Amino acid sequence: DGHVRGVTYSDGSGNDVEAFAKLTVACDGCFSRLRRMVNPSAEYEVMSQFHGLILRDVSLPFPEHGHVVLLDPAPSLFYPISSSEVRCLVDVPAEVSRAPEFNVKKHMIEKLAPQLPEELTTSFVEAVERGDMKCMPNRAMPAIPVGMTGAILLGDSFNMRHPLTGGGMTVALNDVNHFRNFLRTVGDLSDVGLVSSLQAYLLAERQSLSSTINILANALYSLFCANDDPALKDMKIACFDYLSKPGRWSSDPISMLGGLTGRPYLLLAHFFGVAAYACGRIL
């Protein structure tokens, strides 16, 4: 009848168990099974893949800081996870990985390793040759209202963006915060009409912050992958220089990336600021 009344799951013994609830909340990430059932119209795009590596006995150029290395064809992430280990997330664009002749180890050693800072190259190649890589698809999916009553989706099960900027958890926690605020006003979760209004409430309340993070994440990723178009390549260099400047040149974008400021108009102002700065550099 289009109404979710609970879930069926398998327990530790492999037996199917039914659990019923007035409201079913799913926050089960990008591979959400409930999303496919209650919101089949939600479609995602696989933008790229992250291949994860652990680099051993290596120090980053700036200790205790995360690093985004602008490589061709896509940026890669490096951040410390212990005093001697660094996690590396190598981004491989979808169009690159789909090529018939693509070989991920060859791509990393021959294409990417020569572009890395010298202090990372040896450990990076050793990690690739060990072969203990883990792969994760990077998806983008707009927020679409759930088509069935009795269920609510939060976090990546509801909305995704490229993880380059690490905005997924920020958006998820923001969703949880608005969901909590709504529950404080609900007296009876069996009131289908009242609970259905939760979707409209969440969409409205989350839009400012989530749209800012989503647009910024996807735009930065697309720009940092621009290596063939000379104009976009100039824009990429200009964007990097723009974000390296002190004051509001960098503090506003950092605040937006961190979810401290969710103002789309401020994001729009900085987009035009980067474009004007790029034009100024060329002139």
Which tens digits make up the pLDDT trace of 143-177?
Answer: 988 878 888 999 999 999 999 999 999 999 999 99
In the DSSP assignment, the letter for residue 213 is H
pLDDT of residue 190: 82
Pairing of strands 85-93, 76-80: antiparallel
- Two tokens, residue 171: 């958006």
Least Cα distance to 267 among 282, 280, 255 occurs for: 255
Tokens in use for 13? 């013994």
pLDDT at 112 over 90: yes
Residue 67: predicted pLDDT = 94
Mean pLDDT confidence for 37-45: 90
The closest of 34, 64, 53, 63 to 150, measured between CA atoms, is 34
Q: What pLDDT does residue 193 have?
A: 81
Distances (CA, A) of 31 to 25, 70, 141, 148, 212: 15, 28, 12, 19, 23
CB 119 within 8 A of CB 61: yes
**DSSP SS3 for 175:** helix
Residues composing the chain: 283
Report which of 75, 191, 57 is spatially closest to residue 123, judged by C-alpha positions: 57
Over 90: is that where the pLDDT of 194 sits? no
Phi and psi at residue 87, to the nearest 5°: -90, 135
pLDDT confidence bin for 192, thresholds 50/70/90: confident
CB neighbourhood size of 125 (10 A): 17
| 47 neighbors 143 (Cβ within 8 angstroms) | no
User: At residue 198, does pLDDT exceed 80?
Assistant: no
Distance of CA 197 to the CA centre of its chain: 27
- Residues of the chain with pLDDT > 70, as a percent, come to 100
Cis peptide bond upstream of 73, omega within 30: yes
- Mean pLDDT over 52-60 rounds to 94
What's the pTM?
0.90
Structure confidence at residue 148 (pLDDT): 85
Among the listed residues 163, 115, 133, the one whose alpha carbon sits nearest the alpha carbon of residue 51: 133
Confirm if 182 and 201 have CB atoms less than 8 A apart: yes
**In which residue are the tokens 């789309």 written?**
264
Please, is 160 exposed, middle or buried when counting C-beta atoms within 10 Å of its C-beta (0-12, 13-18, 19+)? Answer: buried
Pairing of the two strands 67-69 and 151-153: unpaired
Helix axes 192-224, 264-282, angle to 10 degrees: 10
Rounded average pLDDT over 232-245: 90
Q: Which residue in this structure is represented by tokens 């890589």?
A: 133
